[in-house]
Amino acid sequence: MAARAKTRPRTPSAPETVAEILAALRERIANQDIPPGAKLRETDLAAEFDVPRTRIREALNALEQRHLVERIPNRGAVVFRVDFNQALRIYDLRVVLEGLAARLATQNGTPARWKREADLFKGPLKVMVDRGDLEPYIEHYEAMRRAIIEAAGNPLLAEMLDTIYEKTRVLIRRILILPGRAEVGRLQHVAMLEAMARGHAEEAERLRRAGLQSAKAHLEKFQKYIL
């Protein structure tokens, strides 16, 4: 799959289409490689990606519609800054949307799938948390989360969660690093996944909501350490 000369004559890592440029910029903003408040100059980006400026403009339009950048007339695009209140509002949305995802995933997926996931969180992932080895734990958490959203089978839901998750991705990591938080979260995930393995959709939804509410409470409590 490395060399498909027809569709991609250049190196695979060079973004050229609007969609590719958009994805690259979304990634950078979500990782805060481009920090909040930073100005995105069209000319610079056009030079960097080696594409006409019009294409950059289209990508910036898309970012604006996702509220990842703010467009100030005649002054360009600035990376949106998520303040504390907005972060809380995003958590309110995550509570209900991820709750829905858990319910639908329970109805659509096989119990065995979630049983396997629960065992992971009880075994290897517990060891990681105990060791304070959080990076691989976070990675697997995100994979589990994506699996649930995927299994929910509602593309519109998936897109909404994408849109809001990328806005708080760095925040989520900062919450997880708080003392004791990772273990609390892990136990909540185990409880939810076991409910899913038993096929209890409503209970899975309730547990997912409770887990995110408690994460939100942590955010409020430790606001000054996070934002």
Residues that bind a second copy (CB under 8 A): 58, 61-62, 65-67, 86, 89-90, 92-93, 95-97, 99-100, 104, 154-157, 160, 164
Number of shown-chain residues binding DNA (CB under 7 A): 18
Indicate which single residue of 20, 30, 42, 201 sits in contact with DNA (rule: CB under 7 A).
Answer: 42
Buried b (16+ CB within 10 A) or exposed e, 152-187: bebeebbebbebbbbbbeebbebbbebeebbeebbe
Which of 65, 223 has the CB closer to a second copy? 65
Choice between 31 and 43, CB closer to DNA: 43
Residue 14, binding choice from DNA, a second copy, none, Cβ under 5 to 8 Å by partner class: none
CA–CA distance from 179 to each of 30, 87, 208, 212, 222 (Å)? Answer: 24, 20, 21, 17, 11
- Fill in the per-residue mask, 66 to 85: x = in contact with DNA (CB under 7 A), - = not in contact: -----x-xxxxx--------
Nearer to DNA, 44 or 130 (CB): 44
Q: Are 62 and 26 in contact, with CB atoms under 8 Å apart?
A: no
Sort 224 into a burial class: Cβ within 10 Å, 0-12 / 13-18 / 19+. exposed
* Choice from 21, 22, 25, 40 touching DNA (CB under 7 A): 40
Name the token pair of 108. 């659509």
Q: Interface with DNA by CB under 7 A: which residues?
A: 39-44, 51-55, 57, 71, 73-77
